Structure 1
């Protein structure tokens, strides 16, 4: 997620995706250990990037894609503009099935990490930034439709489909079916401590074998994954509710508001209050009270 001062941010959070439009003197994005697909469209500025170990330079109009569990980093030293999309695996698979690109047991990857010369993709990104700036009726409907158009476009042009017989769709995406119960436990009980032994027991595995299998399937440790889930839930609570920062912290398992604020800033690049202020949904809710 983004870092650095002197920026303008506009954010929309949905259960299936997050959009973050940013203009900045110097921009920096970092996404690691996340279960979602990441699309970063570079609208202005000269960028350097590292995606899944591949490094290079990118120009305005280029885009970067990271699969779940892949690392993405990008930075621009001059004035820059970008649109960051975090897309849930369930959204990607649902669009693929409805578009008849893949079956429900498919594992969806993309054969490009650095996209150049895709004018339609850039147009969708521009349309999304314009809709984020709007304050009109039906904003969420239009945004959701544009996100799905963007996903279908990516699927048509760049998808690489393969069978996933040993995997099962969960809220973490397609994972080894032995992990499903542990993943569901994490989602259901974010507010409390979940020892490794309890997560392993939910999967009917020893802690050692559970930790090894989880790392192989998700690219991260169980507790790093749980931390990412907690902060993703916090984004939704900050954007969609009027709960205090302390209450949000408590609901996602942080006893210390300062610890929560530090972890949230490290992940999103923004303090919780700044994130809420940048959320377009939160602004509309405030204007109606």
Structure 2
């Protein structure tokens, strides 16, 4: 049985989660980034969108931005790499895969590509390492992973509907609504108010939002609040009750229940043992080398 172990390295461009657990379960949720989850030992059973998938060692599961997924496993060891849509789009442009205004998504939710698994295993080793130069190694490995994904697993399609916004690359028809949610997630928002921000009726907005993103506006907002809570737990010393209120929860107990359902950990456990991962020679660099953090937790 795997000894329970959790490690996270997170900053603006990517988040890496290493997890070893005798038993592991997470309820349906989504993230605002594209995610590669590679199994190192054990079996991971997952629901991604409408697909039921099982990944064995050296196999990987892919989720798109805001794509709903849930799962469970036992005697499980895996590494999950989440990369922002902006970082993937920038890499695609710089490497000559596309020009600005592209819709980028995974072709499939499952892969047995050994090259992906090998890079993911190297990323896990760096996350667990205390060696000098870890941040630079992670940057290089994740850049390599993105190119492999662009070559073999990501669909890059030019779209006049895609715009860059404060919420990342979004469908221009939903830009105002998504930016409105990002600016006001701490408030009690109803779908009517969000739809008004997009200048759409509640009915047409709800249908369009789900068709474009794959999730309901309510689910998007709930996941946005939890992602903001993760950042506050890692990057600030605010109390858990203050964080709960800051991200729109009316009670700490409700926040704790929602957070644990998605991560498998309470907010307190998630935060415990958090240390900075910035190496002295790298502090202050821009881009992928800025604001690195490490924490124990999922």
Q: TM-score, normalised by structure 1?
A: 0.85
**Which secondary structure does the structure 2 equivalent of 1:148 belong to?**
helix
- Report matched runs for 1:1-289 at 5 Å: 7-30=4-27, 32-77=29-74, 79-118=75-114, 120-135=115-130, 139-277=134-272, 279-281=274-276
CA contact (8 A) 1:13 1:235 kept: no
Distance (Å, rounded) in 1 between the aligned partners of 2:230 and 2:211: 27
Deviation sequence 1:169-228 (CA, Å, 0-9, x none) = 335454331211121121122222223232222211222222222122212222221111
Contact 2:186–2:245 (CA under 8 A) maintained in structure 1? yes
Distance in structure 2 (CA, Å) of the matches to 1:9 and 1:278: 10
CA contact (8 A) 1:12 1:279 kept: no
| Native 8 Å contact 1:230 1:253 kept in 2 | yes
- Distance in 2 separating the partners of 1:10 and 1:142: 17
- Conserved? CA contact 2:46–2:72, under 8 Å: yes
Alpha carbons of structure 1 residues 223 and 59: separation in structure 2 relative to 1, 3 Å: closer
Q: Which residue in the other structure is 2:282 paired with?
A: none
Question: How many pairs does the alignment contain?
Answer: 280
Cα displacement (A) at 1:237: 0.9
Cα offset for 1:29? 4.7
Structure 1 residue 158 displacement after superposition: 1.8
**Root-mean-square deviation (CA), in Å?**
2.7
Contact in 2 for aligned 1:12/1:280 (Cα 8 Å): no
Cα pair 2:16 2:82 within 8 Å, conserved: yes
User: 2:44, 2:30 → 1: CA distance?
Assistant: 22
Looking at secondary structure, tell me which structure has more helix per residue. Answer: 1
Query: 8 Å contact 1:12–1:132 — kept in the other structure?
Result: yes
Structure 1 235/56 Cα, relative in aligned 2: closer, same or farther at 3 Å?
A: closer
Measured in 2, the distance between the counterparts of 1:27 and 1:260 equals 20
